[in-house]
Structure 1
Amino acid sequence: MIQGDIVSAIVGRDIHPLVAKLLVDKGINDEALLEVTFEPKVENLPPPELIPDMEEAVKLTAKFIGRKELILIWGHDDADGVTGTAILYDAIKTVGGRALYYIPDKKSKGGHSINEEGLKYAVQNDVKLIITTDCCTNSQEDIAMAKEMGIEVIVTDHHEVFVEDPDYLIVNPKRGGAYPYLSGSAVAFKFAWHLFKITNHWDIFTIVQEKPEYFVWATIGIIADRMPIFSENRAFYNKAEEIFAEHTFTFQKAYENVKGKKPSLYDLTNIISSSHTKGSYHEGVELLMTKDINVAEEIMRRLVTFSDIWYRKAEEILNEVIKDVSTSRPYIIVDLGKKGMGYLGYVANKLKEKFKMPSIALGRRDDRKVVGELRAPQGFDTLELLDSISWMLIDYGGHKVASGFSMDEAFLPSLVEEIDAFFAEKGSVDYMRAKADLVLKAEEVDDRFFKDLVKMGFLGLNAYVLIEGKLKDITDKLLSVRVIDPQGFLGLYPPDTQVRVLLQTTPDGLYLDAMEKIGD
């Protein structure tokens, strides 16, 4: 459907036209998503085969399974990649396939893609097919190298797509057929779902009965990667919470035995995020999949201890960094050296939250290559920045507000100069306007608009709306909904003051994120 038709279909569900347009802009751009968006249950999930290349990729996988050829699941070294790896590995074994998994250390060379060390492992084990999870959409050269070694590659991923005319299969919701902000683990789930469908004739209800843990694993990935818990992701989240309350998986019991309390989904997300890889052995994958409580408890103790130590160290590094942060530029950049590896994303995110500007944390790998993590406020596109300096980068990727890169140390003196040039050309950023998904005048909206915003916020929509006009006109139209105003912004100015107000949708109501006076 074209955009106008989708908007009309949403309006037909008694949604304000401006809210309908906002939903389309936030990814509800396919009629197949409407049911699961307005009623987020797993039975309303769009069928997996709607994603481009899904049908061909799963049928190709089934051929390798039928021929008893070894399949390697290649995961990204984070909680999203770990949970996606567990899902695909277990699914292939469940339908009678032979499988291994490999997760390269993200701090190593090629940690975000297919690398030579992993390919050597694949060749040594006579692997014939690699299926990636949470990585490799744009890894043309690496995939070509694998094919030269006689290994077929199927990509499952959720990152932005830059590659043109790939000669490999890419199962990625950014290409359509699903909520574009699925996690990598949710994409892996949909791949497994379709595999079960064509091999075992399972439907979604059978998966709920036979593999309830998959919903928990997929949701851990959604939480860890900070994907919007909306539409399809909300359906996964709702089912995972229900299953979590009804079942006691081995990894749940291990947490309870070690910590003395029942875990939440967020507790387990932190634990999986603390796990380490040795390539063909990953603590997180093993913890999720083991049925042996003794093994699970042993892994859990290590991860709980490491998580506590990691957090203390992260806070120590952050506090050191904050003392010397300069805000003279429109962005923050800090160099943590070797000690920062493993903490870059955390530090960059905390700096972004504290100073409300794009933040870059640099570290050093053992091979002296520089690694960077970027985090930015909503409305700033970190990938646009990386595109502008791509000539000096080895690789880069991620999402608009959170991305990463690697580069040769020799280019480091030029890095700040190039970033300065990017910001100089871009000019000053109005973050209130840049953050807004929708900018409106007070006279363009009514109380129904705000009521429908609240309704969608309750369903998980996270959107920002900037309203400009007389303060009284705005507050009068907000009277019929719950407004969360912890800073007391609405009482700052007289009613006739011209202001602009930034509102965020949340499950609890409209959160007043910022307000400023217009003009004198």
Structure 2
Amino acid sequence: MKKNINEIVLNLLYKRGITGDRDITEFLSPKPLRTYDPFLMKGMREGVLLIVDAVKNNKRICIYGDYDADGVTSVSVLKSILDDISENISYYIPGRFDEGYGLNIDAIKNIYEQGTQLLITVDCGITSAEEVSYAKKLGMDVIVTDHHNIGENIPDCIVIDPKQKDCPYPFDGLAGCGVAFKLAQGIQRQMGLSKNTINNLLDIVALGTIGDVVPLVDENRTIVKYGINRIRTNKRPGLEYLINKIGKGSQFMTAEDISFGIVPNLNAAGRMGNADMAVKFFTVSDTVKSKEIADSLIELNALRKEIQERDYQRCITVYEVEYSNCLFPLIVLEGAHEGVAGIVAGKMKDYCNKPVAILTEKDGTYKGTCRSTEDVDIHEILSKCQELFEKFGGHRGACGFTIKIENLNLLREAVEKEMTEIHCDMADKKDCEISFDMELSGGDVTDNLVEELELLEPFGAGNEKPVFAINKCRVVYMSYMGSDNIHMRFTVEATDGNRVACVMFNVPEEVTSKMDKGVLLNITGTFAFNRWNGRRDIQMTVKDISFC
């Protein structure tokens, strides 16, 4: 196997810890085999048997999910398989604005009054011990399926979460929809259903896995590869229609296309309206209806972009005036749209190179949405402040909480102390150079290299797109593009005489002021084929430029 691999790609694999022949073959294979028996997961067998018994006894089952892409795909996966075996399936997704994330007492009461006998959570519930207890007191059986970190107070019911300490499942990095998919696999095996029942769900699971930004390694890599292949074969007319409407082509769909193209439209339902729309998009059988829903999702996403940019610019101003000295700024943004707070927090995290929380006020409390940099585990930091929260949950890179207004200053003091103690002052990192995986000559950049780099797909968290450097290259052509000339196409000639076509988006002013034909540059960026009208040309997307 190694003899047939480009030496540059092989070195990249070695640097990422993929060295053995079997691991290399698995990593590059278009049909990977790395997947695990669902019944290895703690609680799975008990959960599957309870569901099968409920189906056989015609009990009403309600799936309780979350309003983000992972949540709606989790609901869609489980609903799809249960609809094949029962007519007594319903689902519930709490409203982002009036209920918030996770189980709540009023919703549980309403679900019970509708006759539900078995409540199954997806992508939530692991921190809802009190709510689960209430549901059981009403007489409902409860199964919690989740993938978030587990605290000390675990719900008293069947729990299916690979992060349980004594769970023998070999991989704990599944998204919520990945756990729901493993539950669907367990049901399929227990009831002897066709494997197509599972295969038909892979595109949905891939979308949710990419959308939740979990590491695209191990079993997640397998799920996403097969899911993307399914998307490329246009098995779901509504999804194909959405892809075409947003200007993508399903034939060459990548994880990056999904992350920046499809997922924002799915999330727009929960951010700007009702997440129920996204579940219907995946589960309705009427093609015309699914296309109508796709149009609505696109309209909501356009509105989301407008409001998001407004709040982001306001947040920058507030940060610079009030919070720039904080190591972990908890930014109160008055009048912010709650539906875009998570995105704004992520953009602010990139802006100031620090973990950031955006807080919105409602009824005497603040709802906080946090995003973190790669080297700061905000779940660990905030977990030490749990006594201050009304609600809290999440993982290393993203957390959410609800806190009483009077406790906010105590939280600020606590997180600043934690950040100081772990020596995580990131104030000087804003202007740091972009690192790269490997330096190349112009002659290294060939069709063969880019073809084999595509074998490293899907790229994402845990398997980032390789970044290369070409040093001391000379600009031989340049032009600006975009309505405000903020993007740039240019060609460089490397020291070996070979030329490389480049594109750079959102070019900073300090680059445009020095950029000209003949100047010498050091550039870092990624390589891909630019496909257009049946042609494909190698293009470097430049991330960083320094002048020699």
TM-score category (smaller protein)? 0.7 to 0.9
Query: 1:1-12 counterparts in 2 under 5 A?
Result: none
In structure 2, what is the equivalent of residue 199 of structure 1? 191
Pair 1:324–1:281, CA change in 2 (3 A):
closer
Quick check: 1:352 aligned with 2:337?
no
What SS does structure 1 have at the residue aligned with 2:336? Answer: helix
Q: 2:46 aligns with which of 56, 60, 64?
A: 56
Aligned-residue identity in percent: 23
User: Once the two structures are superposed, what CA deviation does each residue of 1:272-295 show, in whole Å capped at 9, x if it has no partner?
Assistant: 111149999700001111122332
Cα distance in 2 for partners of 1:286, 1:164 equals 34
Q: 1:41 aligns with which of 13, 31, 34?
A: 31
* Amino acid of the structure 1 residue aligned with 2:360: G
Q: Conserved in 2, the CA contact under 8 Å of 1:332 and 1:359?
A: yes
In structure 2, distance between residues paired with 1:178 and 1:217: 23
Tell whether 2:158 aligns with 1:169: yes
Confirm or deny: 8 A CA contact 1:250 1:291 kept in the other structure.
no
Answer whether contact 1:73 1:131 (CA < 8 A) is retained: yes
> 1:123-164 deviations in whole A, cap 9, x for unaligned?
121111111110111211111111011111111111112236
* 8 Å Cα contact 2:132/2:156 also seen in 1: no
Structure 2 unpaired stretches of 5+: 1-9, 430-452, 465-501, 508-523, 530-540
Is the 1:252–1:262 contact (alpha carbons within 8 Å) kept by the matching residues of 2? no
Alignment partner, residue 302 of structure 1? 296
Secondary structure, aligned partner of 2:413: helix
From 414, 417, 437, give the equivalent of 1:418.
Answer: 414
Query: Residue type of the partner of 1:374?
Result: C
Structure 1 residue 137 and structure 2 residue 126: aligned? Answer: yes
1:177-192 paired onto structure 2 within 5 Å: 177-192=169-184
Contact 1:376–1:402 at 8 Å: present in 2 too? yes
Q: Structure 1's 201 and 290: CA in aligned 2 closer, same or farther, altered over 3 A? A: closer
Structure 2: which amino acid aligns with 1:416? R
Look up the match of 1:402: 398
Alignment partner of 1:378: what SS?
Answer: coil
Q: 1:45·1:232 contact (CA, 8 Å) conserved in 2?
A: yes
Residues 370 and 261 of structure 1: is their aligned pair in 2 closer, same or farther, counting only changes over 3 Å? Answer: same
CA contact (8 A) 1:58 1:195 kept: yes
Which structure 2 residues correspond to residues 301-450 of structure 1 after superposition, within 5 A?
301-326=295-320, 327-365=324-362, 367-429=363-425
CA distance in 2 between partners of 1:463 and 1:215 (Å): 20
Alpha carbons 2:27, 2:456 under 8 Å: kept: no
How far apart, CA to CA, are the structure 2 residues paired with 1:140 and 1:507?
Answer: 48
Where is the helix percentage greater, Structure 1 or Structure 2? 1
In structure 2, the residue corresponding to 1:95 is in which secondary structure?
coil
Contact 2:379 2:395 in 1 (8 A): yes
Residue 159 in structure 1 maps to residue 159 in structure 2: no
- In structure 1, the gaps of 5 or more residues are 1-14, 25-31, 433-453, 465-483, 488-502, 515-520
Q: Which of these residues, 208, 212, 232, is aligned with residue 225 of structure 1?
A: 212
Distance (Å, rounded) in 1 between the aligned partners of 2:455 and 2:229: 21
Among candidates 271, 274, 291, match of residue 285 of structure 2 = 291
Instruction: Indicate if the aligned counterparts of 2:216 and 2:463 stay in contact, CA closer than 8 A.
Output: no
Q: Is this contact kept in 2: 1:337–1:363, CA < 8 A?
A: yes
Q: CA RMSD in A?
A: 4.6
Are 2:97 and 1:101 aligned?
A: no
CA contact 2:349–2:355 (8 Å) conserved in 1: yes
> What is the DSSP-based 3-state SS (H/G/I as helix, E as strand, rest coil) of the residue aligned with 1:275?
helix
How far 1:60 moved relative to its partner?
Answer: 0.9
- Helix, strand or coil at the partner of 2:269: coil
**Corresponding pairs, count:** 454
Return the TM-score normalized by structure 1: 0.74
Query: Take 1:278 and 1:428, find their aligned partners in 2: how far apart are those partners?
Result: 35
